[in-house]
């Protein structure tokens, strides 16, 4: 999401947006040679840095929400599983130049975390409501209701 909206700092956003743009342009130029280029978007990732940086004792609402996302997020190995699944797909060229989310790839290819769990999907409306503290409302929203990719794009500040 760092390529769509401000997160953390300028360098983070510029790096994320640059990777998305590079995937788009390289995908366009390299498709005729059979080379696939994508920008892989994991959800919240349980990196050592994030787990150390976000204390369970934080009282700042933004940091508390971020901590919830990281706690229920994906391991670094989950992205690796996404790359393996893409590499094994004989029709992966159909994804060239696109942004692909690890949660979407998990659903498409059927891989899970090592413990058999599925990390939270950042496009799932019930998860987004729960992160904002609306737990009672999140229970009412079916898990299949997700924010469409086109809506995420339109909600960005790239225009």
C-alpha torsion sign, points 20, 26, 31, 35 = negative
Determine the longest span between alpha carbons in the chain, in angstroms. 53
How far is the C-alpha of 137 from the C-alpha of 64, rounded, in Å? 19
Cα(71)–Cα(58) distance, integer angstroms: 14
Question: Which residues face 74 on adjacent strands?
Answer: 45
Q: Which helix (H) or strand (E) holds 8?
A: none
6 is catalytic: no
* 12, 49, 109, 131: the active-site residue: 12
Question: How many angstroms separate the CA atoms of 21 and 7, rounded?
Answer: 18
Nearest to 41 by CA among 129, 147, 138, 123: 123
Supply the residues annotated as catalytic: 12
């Amino acid at each position: 999401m760092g390529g769509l909206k401000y997160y953390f700092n300028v360098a983070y956003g510029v790096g994320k947006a640059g990777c998305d743009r590079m995937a788009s342009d390289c995908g366009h130029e390299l498709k005729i040679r059979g080379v696939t280029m994508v920008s892989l978007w994991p959800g919240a990732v349980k990196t050592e840095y994030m787990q150390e940086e976000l204390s369970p004792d934080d009282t700042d609402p933004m940091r508390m929400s971020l901590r919830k996302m990281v706690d229920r997020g994906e391991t670094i190995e989950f992205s690796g599983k996404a790359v393996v699944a893409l590499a094994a797909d004989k029709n992966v060229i159909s994804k060239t130049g696109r942004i692909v989310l690890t949660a979407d790839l998990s659903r498409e290819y059927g891989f899970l975390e090592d413990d058999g769990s599925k990390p939270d999907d950042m496009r799932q409306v019930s998860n987004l409501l729960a992160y904002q503290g609306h737990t009672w409302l999140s229970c009412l929203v079916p898990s299949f209701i997700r924010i469409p990719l086109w809506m995420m794009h339109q909600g960005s500040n790239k225009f």
